[in-house]
Chain A
Amino acid sequence: MAKIPVTFTLNGSERAAFAEEGLNLLEFLRRAVGDLSPKYGCGQGTCGACTVIIDGETHLSCLTMADAVQGRKVETASGLANGKVHPLQEAFMEHFAAQCGYCTPGMLMSAKVLLDRNPSPTRAEVIEAISGNLCRCTGYAPIIDAILATANTRRLA
């Protein structure tokens, strides 16, 4: 199988790695690039655990071909903490929004795009924003609370 060189920006740093033909972005990030934050849940676009941000929009990395990010900006949960944990991560801890933690990196990506675009979302808007991310532990309420609390804290700051 042909190997394709893929050059892209990952969490602000230039990265280059080889992808096998037809490899999905999730496997590429985890195996070839070494970013283990996006998770493999279903491989079918149902669970959202593999959610990453490409050029400011959430995408399912398991349904994206690796070479589709050629020259583009990719953000993952491992890029959130910058010296100290990101306010969203702080709020997730505060509100017990992670139990097993498998959905958390994807949830954080969906939440980040929401708050970047809409600093004061309603509860309904938060629910809509994370509707593509399944969580089987928390029942969602703590996650929604954490995202709303982050928005509130930012407004006060």
Chain B
Amino acid sequence: MRVESYKTLAEAARAMGPDAVFMAGGTLVMRDVNAGESASRIIRSADPALTEIRATGDGFSIGAGVTMARIVAHRDLPFLAPVARAVGGPQVRNMATVGGNLFAHHPYGDFAVALLALGARVVLAGQGGAKPLDDLLRERGRSGGPSLIVASIEVPRPRDPRAFGFVKVSRIKPKGVSVMSIAVNLPRDSGRIRGARVAFGAMGPAPLRVSAVERVLEGQSLDAATIARAAQLAGDGLDPPTDALASAWYRREVAGTHLRRLLEKMERG
């Protein structure tokens, strides 16, 4: 194993390859190192751009190396603070990064679920433009991990903070891994939901959106009948993992209940 450190992200991106992995906070990569299962090259970069949080026109640009603890403490990100607080214990939150969470395999990666529901876009190092997080997560689900570096994540600010809801379902409080996590973003236009986004974690190979639920919510108000219809469709067609915490059957069975509770809580305000 070799460790390579680069001054800039652009240089680090050029050094990436199928035999390399990028390391930020270390909470994922060092586990593999300690288990003797690491990639043969570990790429690091101390590029200050990685740890920047900037306000943009309609939201925030969050450097991929920003830690969960910094998200919790940031005064302009109250909608993301509860999500970051749900990740790991204090030590993990001091280390684990927003970018790393996009590559965290089951049962980790709850922050990515929230970013997916918020419609976040990722900026790749050494490449121009941003692409939907949906695409990155889909590619990751297929290939197990692309050889690229996420430089930053563009997160739109929810127009109405009450439109965004998140829950992490775990068996151990306050720190336990996910049975599942659910994030919903339901912007309203004169009382009607427009542009619904509903994302699940621990319900597939990577965080995913459930379009059947989004379609049921679209154009509706969040009344009891709509919530019931959404809950009914929640686990449909999903192939969640079976692990020590829950079986695939259990996850499918309770997905609707947890979605219903979250939506009811949001409706109550």
Does B34 lie within 8 Å of A132, measured CB to CB? no
Could you tell me which residues of chain A, from 19 to 68, have a CB within 8 Å of some CB in chain B?
A: 21-22, 24, 43-45, 48, 51, 57-60, 62-65, 68
Does B2 contact A44, Cβ atoms closer than 8 Å? no
A60 and B92 contact, CB distance less than 8 A = yes
Task: List chain B residues, Cβ under 8 A from A51.
Answer: 91
For residue A6, CB closer than 8 A to chain B, the reply is no
Whether A63 contacts B27 in the complex (CB less than 8 A), given A22-B42, A129-B90, comes out as yes
Complex alpha-carbon distance, A74 and B33, angstroms: 22
Q: Are B174 and A127 in contact (CB under 8 A)?
A: yes
Is B69 part of the contact surface with A, judged by Cβ < 8 Å? yes
Contact B27 A132, beta carbon cutoff 8 Å: no
Is B3 on the interface with A (CB-CB < 8 A)? yes
Residue on A nearest B85 in the bound complex, by CB: A128
Residue in contact with B90 in the complex, picked from A44, A45, A131, CB distance below 8 Å? A131
Q: What string of 1s and 0s marks CB contacts (under 8 Å) between B84-95 and chain A?
A: 000011111011
Interface residue from A44, A128, A133 paired with B174 (Cβ < 8 Å): A128
Whether A132 contacts B3 in the complex (CB less than 8 A), given A24-B34, A62-B34, A127-B174, comes out as no
Given contacts A21-B1, A22-B42, contact A44 B92 (CB under 8 A): no
User: Is B216 an interface position by the 8 A CB rule?
Assistant: no
Give the size of the chain B interface in residues (CB under 8 angstroms). 24
Q: Is A110 an interface residue (CB 8 A)?
A: yes
Of residues 123 to 139 in A, which have CB atoms within 8 Å of B's CB atoms?
A: 127-129, 131-133
Complex Cα spacing A13 to B95, Å: 24
In the bound complex, CA of A110 to CA of B175 (Å): 15
A45 touches B3 (CB 8 A): no
Q: Is B30 an interface residue (CB 8 A)?
A: yes
Q: Is B146 an interface residue (CB 8 A)?
A: no
* Cβ-based interface call for B26 (8 A): yes
B91 touches A21 (CB 8 A): no
User: Given that A43-B34, A64-B30 are known contacts, is A131 also in contact with B3, CB under 8 Å in the complex?
Assistant: no
Q: Which residues of B contact A110 (CB under 8 A)?
A: 90-91
Q: Mark B21-56, 1 if CB is under 8 A from A, else 0.
A: 001011100110111001000100000000000000
Chain A residues within an 8 Å CB radius of B30: 24, 45, 62-65
CB-CB contacts of A57-93 with B at 8 A, as 1s and 0s? 1111011110010000000000000000000000000
Name A's B-contacting residues (CB within 8 A): 21-22, 24, 43-45, 48, 51, 57-60, 62-65, 68, 110, 113, 127-129, 131-133
19 A-B contact pairs sorted by A residue (CB < 8 Å): A21-B2, A22-B33, A43-B35, A45-B31, A45-B92, A48-B91, A57-B69, A60-B27, A60-B92, A63-B27, A65-B3, A65-B26, A65-B30, A110-B91, A113-B90, A131-B90, A132-B89, A132-B92, A133-B89
